[in-house]
Amino acid sequence: RSSGTPLQQQQQQQQAAPLVWAWQQRRQQQQRQQEQQRARERAAAAMSEGQKAAARERLAAEMHEQQAMMGMEKQRAVMEQAVAKNVLSTLQQVEERMDDDIRKLSRMEDMKESELDEMRERRKEAMRKQQVKREGWKAQGHGEYLEVSDEAEFFAQVKGSERVVIHFYRSATFTCQIVDRHLGELCQKHLETKFIKINAEKSPFLVERLKIWMLPSIVIAINGKTEHTICGLDEFGGEEDFSNEMAAYVLGKHGAIFHDGVPPESTTSDKKQVTRFEKTAKSIRNQTANLDEDDDWWD
C-alpha cells in the first residue's frame, strides 16, 4: 500500500518492479519443478506396474514349464513301467519254455530206447493227423481270403468251419482296405481259421442281425457263435499303419487263430503304408449273438 505524493508513488513502483519480476520467476520455476516431480513419480509408478506384470508373466511361464516337465516325466515313467512289464512277461514266458524243454530233455535221458521209439511214433502220428487237418481245412476254403456274395453262402461258410473271421466292409471305406491287406496275409499263415469278407451294403439282414454299426467290423465266429466283434481299428492300436503281428495278436487274443499270445513290441509297422485319416473308429465289445438261433438259417 503506497502513501505520499504521486511522484513518490511512481518512484516506489519503479523500485519494486524488479522484485515482483524476480518473485514471479521463482514461482514459475517452483511450479515447473513440481510438475517434473509429479511426472517422475507417475513414470516410476508406471514402470513399477509394468515390472510387476512382467514378473507375473515370467512366473506363470515358469510354472507352466514345470507342470509340462512333470507331465512328461510322469508319462515317461508310465511308458518305462509298461515296457519293463512287457519285457518281464516275455522273459518269464521264455524262461518257462526253456524249463519245459529242460524237463523234457531230462525225461528223455531217463527213457529207454523202446520208450523213445514210442514217443517218436506218437509225434509222427500227431504230425500225420495235423497234415490231415490241414488238407481238410484247405478243402473247406481255408488259406484263402474269400468273398461271399449273399446270406445263404455266408451261413454255409460259417457252418462248415470251427473258426471263422468275417470282415464286413465297404469298398469306399479306406480303412477296410487296410484290414483286407492284413487278413489276406493272415489267412495264408493260419489254415486253422477261415477268412471271409462280405459287402455290408449288400447284406442289410446280416448287418442288422449281427449288430454291425461301424465299418470296418471283424466278426469272430467260433462253433457257429459270434464270440466277439472288432469295430474299427482301436483294438489294433488306433493307427492305420498297425503291423500284421499286431493284427495276429488281437485275433489270437479272441481265439480266432492259434497264436502264442505275446503282444508285439510295437503296434505299428516298420513301413508305413497308410497315412490318410487322423481319426479312427472306436472299437467296442459287441453283444454275443448265436448264429444258430434260427434253424432256417442253415437250411
% of the chain beyond a pLDDT of 90: 29
% of the chain beyond a pLDDT of 70: 73
Q: Is residue 220 a contact partner of residue 247, using CB atoms and an 8 Å limit?
A: no
H or E segment to which residue 83 belongs: helix 6-110
Whole-angstrom CA distances from 299 to 11, 36, 156, 210, 292 are: 142, 105, 9, 19, 11
Q: Is residue 290 a contact partner of residue 209, using CB atoms and an 8 Å limit?
A: no
First to last CA, the chain: 136
- Residue 266: predicted pLDDT: 73
- Residue 124, pLDDT > 80, answer no
- Residue 275: predicted pLDDT: 42
Q: If you average pLDDT over residues 259-271, what whole number do you get?
A: 71
The per-residue pLDDT for range 68-97, each reduced to its tens digit, is 877 777 777 777 776 666 667 777 777 787
Rounded to 10 deg, the angle between the 174-189 and 244-253 helix axes is 70
- Residue 299, pLDDT > 60, answer no
Tally Cβ neighbours within 10 Å of residue 116: 11
Q: Across the chain, what does the average pLDDT equal? A: 77
- Residue 224: predicted pLDDT: 85
- Residue 194, pLDDT > 60, answer yes
- Residue 278: predicted pLDDT: 39
Closest C-alpha among 30, 15, 1, 290 to residue 155: 290
- Residue 58, pLDDT > 70, answer yes
Closest C-alpha among 136, 141, 280 to residue 197: 141
- Residue 4, pLDDT > 70, answer no
- Residue 227: predicted pLDDT: 92
The per-residue pLDDT for range 145-190, each reduced to its tens digit, is 999 988 888 988 888 788 999 999 999 999 999 999 999 999 988 9
- Residue 276, pLDDT > 70, answer no
Reported confidence tier of residue 279, pLDDT bands at 50, 70, 90: very low
pTM exceeds 0.75: no
Reported confidence tier of residue 297, pLDDT bands at 50, 70, 90: very low
- Residue 272, pLDDT > 60, answer no
Q: Which three cell numbers stand for residue 148?
A: 461271399
